[in-house]
């Protein structure tokens, strides 16, 4: 097959598509990955052909309006208005991103398009008259009665669970902008308007598309009622980069005492990273734990250094997490996946929407204390959660069992086999 794989967003939105592209190439297919230009560094160690796309996602995510909306989970008075203002911040970037994706696809001329919903890849597939396969990196697109859409930031009656999945399309339309998508469809793709063209889960004729869900069913409450055209494959992990080795400072820190806890909140900055740094520092002191703090991406401004805390940058989680006593993180889908696979207990401190869902799922699975939302983060509560995660033997045993189960899944291999049936 000649496959075009497309994605936009943060590292958690890109890395699974790098894994898929590598697996397709290793299976003998011709593949190109269209992704944010800044993420070429993720693809290059695996020799994945890369088509750079304009993307300022991290910059937009650090915008004060966006940070405030996400950190408050769109709640409180004016929450929806803040959410609307935040989504409008993405639209100038999205206009250029779509233009780049359209141009790359029309030049590459694949016979299969595999895409993140934000790329509007179903419309590119329509233009090329080839199959389009949407990839859901989170359980927010295919409706189910089992749980409400994790993107909905408030509780709803269970009778509305299926209906709640319409919120994902509203989110995508809000970020892309209806004017942007209409202009792009008309001027770049040269496609006429048609009824239902915004539905990424449907082909132009109206029948259901084959959908790949790139996460583990063990992340979700059971039983599930997903339709037959939706395939929940397991997480799509990359193998360790062969050319990476840990810095001497990190090895020395690991060797000089009990296993530390990891603390890092991903690419979300929050409204006050200095305060977050103070809360984290005090929580570590109160917990009595040694700690490795990841402050590389702005969510935590490091406090005072001491012998019990090491600040790091750009250390592969799949190498680091199994060596930790516990993992304190924000609940992003990518970090949650690696934390689950590591077999270590977690403390989840969510910012927004889906992160609260994953925090609740880790707690329900018995591998994490109760969630510690960023909006209410305090040194005392965080310290108690860290102590529990790092010392509770039952939690450690359940985390090991979960990790073993996750590691036996071959999510990306299953995805390749499904795609090969479409050729």
Secondary structure (DSSP) of 208-254: BPPEEE-S-GGGS-SS----TTEEE----PPPPPTT----HHHHHHH
Q: Quick one: DSSP state of residue 308?
A: T
33 three-class SS: strand
Cα–Cα distances in Å, from 154 out to 70, 330, 355?
14, 18, 13
pTM for the model stands at: 0.92
Location of structure tokens 């749980």: 147
Three-state SS across 172-193?
A: HHHHHCHHHHHHHHHHHCCCCC
Q: Mean pLDDT across the stretch 191-206?
A: 93
- Label residue 57 by pLDDT band (50, 70, 90): confident
In this prediction, residue 306 carries a pLDDT of: 73
Q: Which of 423, 217, 257 is nearest to 340 (CA)?
A: 217
Contact 372, 355 (CB under 8 A): no
Tell me the two tokens of residue 286.
């109160």
- Evaluate if residue 271 carries a pLDDT over 70: no
- Cα angle vertex 217, ends 213, 221, to 5°? 120
In this prediction, residue 305 carries a pLDDT of: 60
């Amino acid at each position: 097959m000649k496959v075009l794989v497309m994605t936009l967003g943060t590292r958690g939105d890109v890395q699974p598509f790098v894994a898929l592209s590598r697996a397709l190439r290793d299976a003998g297919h011709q593949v190109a990955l269209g992704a944010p230009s800044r993420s070429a560094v993720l693809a290059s160690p695996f020799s994945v052909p890369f088509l750079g796309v304009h993307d300022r996602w991290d910059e937009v995510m650090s915008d004060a309006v966006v940070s405030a909306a996400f950190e408050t989970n769109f709640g409180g008075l004016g929450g929806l208005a803040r959410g609307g203002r935040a989504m409008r911040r993405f639209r100038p970037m999205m206009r250029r991103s779509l233009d780049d994706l359209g141009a790359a696809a029309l030049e590459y001329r694949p016979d299969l398009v595999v895409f993140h919903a934000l790329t509007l890849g179903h419309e590119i597939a329509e233009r090329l008259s080839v199959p389009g396969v949407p990839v859901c990196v989170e359980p927010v697109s295919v409706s189910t009665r089992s749980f409400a859409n994790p993107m909905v930031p408030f509780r709803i009656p269970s009778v509305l669970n299926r209906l709640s999945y319409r919120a994902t399309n509203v989110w995508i339309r809000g970020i892309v902008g209806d004017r942007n998508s209409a202009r792009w469809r008309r001027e770049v793709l040269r496609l006429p308007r048609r009824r239902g063209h915004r539905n990424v889960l449907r082909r132009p004729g109206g029948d259901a598309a084959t959908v790949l869900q790139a996460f583990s069913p063990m992340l979700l409450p059971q039983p599930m009622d997903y339709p037959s055209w939706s395939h929940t494959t397991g997480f799509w992990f990359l193998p360790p980069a062969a050319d990476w080795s840990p810095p001497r400072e990190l090895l020395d820190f690991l060797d000089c005492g009990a296993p530390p806890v990891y603390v890092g909140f991903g690419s979300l900055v929050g409204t006050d990273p200095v305060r977050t740094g103070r809360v984290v520092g005090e929580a570590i002191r109160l917990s009595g734990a040694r700690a490795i703090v990841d402050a590389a991406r702005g969510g935590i401004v490091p406090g005072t250094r001491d012998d019990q805390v090491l600040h790091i940058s750009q250390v592969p989680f799949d190498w680091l997490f199994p060596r930790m006593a516990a993992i304190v993180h924000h609940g992003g889908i990518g970090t949650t996946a690696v934390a689950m696979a590591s077999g270590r207990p977690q403390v989840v401190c969510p910012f927004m929407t889906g992160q609260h869902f994953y925090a609740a799922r880790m707690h329900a699975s018995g591998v994490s204390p109760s969630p510690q939302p960023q909006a209410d983060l305090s040194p005392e509560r965080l310290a108690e959660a860290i102590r529990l995660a790092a010392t509770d033997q039952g939690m450690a045993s359940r985390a090991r069992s979960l990790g073993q189960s996750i590691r036996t899944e071959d999510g990306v291999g299953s995805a390749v086999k499904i795609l090969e049936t479409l050729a």
